[in-house]
């Protein structure tokens, strides 16, 4: 793990009602949770991202990794309506992201499996 980073806390709950206080998180990671190419229903999706923003510190980031079944709809989703800026890391950009964030080789191996189509990472910030 990158020496600039600290271990986080795993929290189990409903993403539309996260059991954390406002502004507590430096980063929120969603790894392979947005699933298939089918886009979730809009009210629930906006509510979920609203909850993620609620728990973020002002300078915090939401980090999404879609490695197994990349949710391609995320690449076209209008995050600006939630006042979030999107940055996508795919291909060589994903390699740089992996190095910057100190992600383990166990995760990075998925970028080299031919059956897995277009894996990517995405950051969302205010």
User: Could you report the per-residue pLDDT of 18-69, keeping only the tens digit for each?
Assistant: 999 999 999 998 887 776 556 666 778 888 899 999 999 999 999 998 877 6
Select the more confidently predicted residue: 14 or 79: 79
Q: Is the pTM of this model over 0.75?
A: yes
- The domains of the chain are located at 29-38+62-125
Q: Which of 125, 6, 7, 123 is nearest to 59 (CA)?
A: 125
Inter-residue contact 124 to 79 (CB < 8 Å): yes
């Amino acid at each position: 793990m990158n020496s600039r980073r600290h271990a986080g806390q795993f929290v189990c709950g409903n993403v539309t009602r996260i059991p954390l206080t406002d502004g507590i998180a430096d980063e929120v990671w969603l790894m392979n949770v947005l699933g298939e190419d089918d886009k979730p229903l809009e009210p629930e999706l906006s509510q979920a991202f609203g909850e993620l923003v609620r728990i973020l510190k002002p300078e915090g980031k939401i980090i999404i990794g879609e490695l197994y079944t990349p949710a391609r709809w995320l690449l076209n989703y209008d995050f600006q309506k939630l006042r979030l800026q999107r940055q996508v890391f795919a291909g060589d950009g994903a390699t740089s992201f992996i190095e910057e964030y100190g992600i383990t080789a166990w995760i990075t191996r998925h970028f080299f499996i031919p059956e897995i189509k277009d894996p990517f990472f995405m950051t969302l910030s205010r």
